[in-house]
């Protein structure tokens, strides 16, 4: 009986090993329909307790990213053989049909089912740089695919076993508990966006309402990333692998500041943060055009950037404050008040988060406090 039990155990372990080591589907451009599983795309998949990328799938990062309830993010891009994006110094690159961009949201696990605000990068990544699923809670992966008819956004939610993600076009609300850096525990509702909510951010032109990426711009990508243990400029790397054409040099390309970089000026950090978190709506063509508040890099620091500007479309979200930005007085300014709120009738951005980004709010408060002038 012992010999039979040992044999059965060996067979079970072998089967599990073979299942865990099953090859990743090759990266595939799916021109029509909505694949039910993330693995159908072949871009990113859980395998042997690691998050594995398909062949030719290239990770990237942004100088200053969009805040999403303190989630960590793995961003990737893939294009069919022989295809490349056209470089643009000011706007999103012109990506070819067949491009697939993914963004996976995850947290470092805390005690029980809690997730951590601050992730230990040496713990959530293995020695080769892959995400170590033993210490991570995968939440969702968003897919943007460029089809002949335009960009399509699809959202996949990871299962409890962290082995697969399934399509959720209607979105989802996931109750989580966030362990703050000071140890306080904050329950919150992580919102996986539905198709309409995806378009709210990814359609930055209110007239066309066309969905497109918002992160892959020169000023966001002009930074180093570690590829196979070597730090390379991302724009140079994308050019070297044939994914980008028309790029000349990192020195001649725009570069946003890293919002946490204390060596950069306070103004550069604040503008980079507002660009990443607000300007896809707050620009002259965006969904927030009627507000008259434009936070894109092309707008000078003036009334249109919020200085002594009356909040014409804020409704009850002003907190009885008169101006978006009062130089030298963050407490009297509407902008940090709305950023710090989690009240749906007040908060900005109004979607994409359920918690307040305390550190981001503090950055904007410091910048406003440093401004000279008066609204009198």
Same domain, yes or no, for 137 and 281? no
pLDDT given at position 208: 67
Same domain, yes or no, for 172 and 66? yes
Any domain includes 3: no
Per-residue pLDDT at 75 exceeds 80 = yes
Any domain includes 238: yes
Any domain includes 141: yes
* Residue 71 structural domain: 21-245
Same domain, yes or no, for 61 and 152? yes
Same domain, yes or no, for 308 and 205? no
Residue where a domain stops, chosen among 194, 211, 245? 245
**285-313 per-position pLDDT tens digit:** 888 888 899 999 999 999 999 999 999 87
Per-residue pLDDT at 12 exceeds 60 = no
Same domain, yes or no, for 150 and 32? yes
Any domain includes 161: yes
Residue 26's contacts (CB-CB under 8 Å, 6 or more residues apart) are: 42, 54, 55
Same domain, yes or no, for 239 and 133? yes
**CB burial of residue 329 (10 Å; 0-12, 13-18, 19+):** middle
Is the separation of the CB atoms in 249 and 239 below 8 Å? Answer: no
Please give the biggest Cα pair distance in the chain.
Answer: 90
Same domain, yes or no, for 167 and 227? yes
Same domain, yes or no, for 241 and 291? no
Any domain includes 11: no
Higher pLDDT, 247 or 291: 247
Residue where a domain stops, chosen among 245, 276, 296? 245
Q: Reduce the DSSP state of residue 165 to 3 states and report it.
A: strand
Same domain, yes or no, for 159 and 39? yes
Q: Which whole number is the average pLDDT over 37-60? A: 96
Higher pLDDT, 89 or 314: 89
Q: Reduce the DSSP state of residue 358 to 3 states and report it.
A: helix
Any domain includes 5: no
**90-123 per-position pLDDT tens digit:** 999 999 999 999 999 999 999 988 999 999 999 9
Is the separation of the CB atoms in 324 and 304 below 8 Å? Answer: no
Any domain includes 152: yes
pTM: 0.91
Same domain, yes or no, for 70 and 207? yes
Any domain includes 95: yes
Indicate the range of 9-13, 213-217, 289-293 predicted with least confidence. 9-13
Q: In the chain, how many domains are there? A: 2
């Amino acid at each position: 009986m012992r010999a039979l039990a040992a044999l059965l155990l060996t067979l079970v372990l072998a089967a599990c090993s073979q299942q865990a080591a099953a090859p990743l589907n090759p990266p595939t451009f799916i021109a029509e329909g909505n694949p039910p599983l993330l693995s159908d795309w072949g871009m990113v998949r859980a395998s042997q307790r690691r998050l594995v990328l398909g062949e030719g799938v290239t990770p990237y990062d942004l100088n200053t990213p969009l805040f999403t309830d303190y989630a960590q993010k793995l961003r990737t891009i893939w294009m069919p053989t022989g295809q490349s994006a056209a470089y643009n110094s000011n706007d999103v690159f012109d990506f070819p049909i067949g491009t697939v961009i993914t963004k996976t949201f995850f947290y470092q696990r805390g005690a029980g089912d809690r997730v951590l605000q601050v992730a230990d990068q040496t713990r959530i990544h293995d020695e080769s740089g892959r995400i170590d699923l033993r210490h991570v809670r995968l939440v969702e992966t968003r897919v943007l695919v460029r089809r002949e008819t335009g960009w399509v956004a699809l959202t996949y939610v990871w299962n409890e076993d962290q082995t697969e993600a399934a399509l959720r076009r209607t979105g989802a609300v996931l109750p989580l508990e966030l362990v703050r850096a000071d140890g306080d525990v904050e329950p919150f509702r992580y919102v996986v966006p539905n198709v309409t909510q995806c378009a709210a951010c990814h359609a930055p032109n209110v007239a066309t309402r066309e969905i497109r990426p918002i992160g892959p711009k020169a000023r966001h990508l002009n930074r180093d990333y570690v590829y196979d243990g070597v730090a390379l400029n991302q724009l140079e790397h994308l050019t070297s692998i044939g994914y980008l054409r028309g790029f000349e040099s990192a020195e001649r390309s725009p570069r946003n500041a890293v919002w946490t970089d204390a060596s950069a000026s306070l103004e550069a950090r604040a503008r980079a943060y507002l660009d990443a978190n607000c300007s896809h709506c707050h620009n002259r063509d965006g969904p927030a055009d009627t507000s008259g508040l434009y936070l894109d890099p092309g707008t000078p620091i003036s009334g249109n950037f919020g200085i002594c500007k009356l909040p014409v479309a804020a409704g009850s979200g002003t907190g009885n404050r008169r101006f978006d930005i009062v130089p030298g007085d963050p407490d009297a300014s509407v902008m940090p008040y709305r950023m710090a709120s989690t009240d749906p009738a007040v908060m900005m951005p109004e979607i994409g988060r359920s918690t307040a980004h305390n550190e981001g709010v503090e950055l904007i408060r410091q910048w406003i406090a440093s401004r000279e002038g008066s609204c009198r």
